[in-house]
Chain A
């Protein structure tokens, strides 16, 4: 059972369009991270959200953490070819020495010029 549902799995859009990627879970996370990964490289951290309802902006990227800390979204405005890559959400759960980071399946984004 996938604990963190990420959608869509694949997305191909034209330059200039907007898009939203969703991550949903029935579990509560203490924090949630978004990463972007290019082929042949490791994931690069984009943002960490911690507080329910939190919104963070990174240039054309807007990240939101749900009020109940069970879901998150990534919105990209006016996508550019350089935004192409695999976007991963990952939810952290910790309790004492028990720490776990659960990844979504990823969204493979292609922005066509």
Chain B
């Protein structure tokens, strides 16, 4: 399966600042990547689909101006949480999809906004 990395694994920031999270597909060229958010002991919630070379597709209720997604290459997608607030604290996970519909996930990024 595909190998996916995320950076950073953990980040603490002050309220009002912006945080960028990187998602890299290490061995697979991904035209599509996915960004999820997960609260403790809950399932994954899809935030947006990142499309290489074009705009991301956001799920209903996700603010595209707050969660900026850039997918500039086949191996890198970034999620920027702009003007972060404590309620944005969460576990953010990205994934890639192979040709057979299986998704492979990164290790996640724990964001804590103070």
Binding partners A and B: yes
Residues of A within 8 A of B (CB): 30-31, 33, 35, 40-45, 48, 50, 86, 88, 90, 92, 94, 99, 101, 103-106, 108
| Segment 64-106 of B: residues with Cβ below 8 Å from A | 91, 93, 95, 97, 100-106
Docked complex Cα distance between A75 and B30 (Å) = 33
Docked complex Cα distance between A17 and B56 (Å) = 45
CB distance from B97 to the nearest CB of A (A): 7
Evaluate contact between A88 and B101: CB separation under 8 angstroms: no
Determine chain A's interface SS by DSSP, over half rule.
Answer: strand
Evaluate contact between B101 and A30: CB separation under 8 angstroms: yes
Known: A42-B105, A43-B105, A45-B104. 13 other contacts (CB 8 A): A31-B100, A31-B101, A41-B107, A41-B108, A43-B93, A48-B102, A88-B44, A92-B102, A94-B101, A99-B32, A99-B97, A101-B97, A103-B43
The 10 closest A-B pairs by CB, nearest first: A42-B105, A92-B101, A106-B43, A42-B108, A42-B107, A103-B43, A43-B105, A105-B43, A48-B102, A31-B101
The residue on A at minimum CB distance from B108 is: A42
Interface residues on B, range: 20 to 34
The contact sample of 16 A-B pairs, CB cut-off 8 A, is: A40-B108, A40-B110, A41-B107, A42-B4, A42-B105, A42-B107, A44-B105, A45-B1, A45-B105, A86-B41, A92-B102, A99-B32, A101-B34, A101-B46, A103-B43, A104-B43
CB distance from A35 to the nearest CB of B (A): 8
A94 proximity list for chain B (CB < 8 A) = 101
B108 proximity list for chain A (CB < 8 A) = 40-42
Tell me if B42 counts as interface (CB < 8 A to partner A): yes
User: Among the interface residues B102, B107, B108, which one has the most CB atoms of the partner chain A within 10 A?
Assistant: B102
Evaluate contact between A31 and B102: CB separation under 8 angstroms: yes
Evaluate contact between A103 and B105: CB separation under 8 angstroms: no
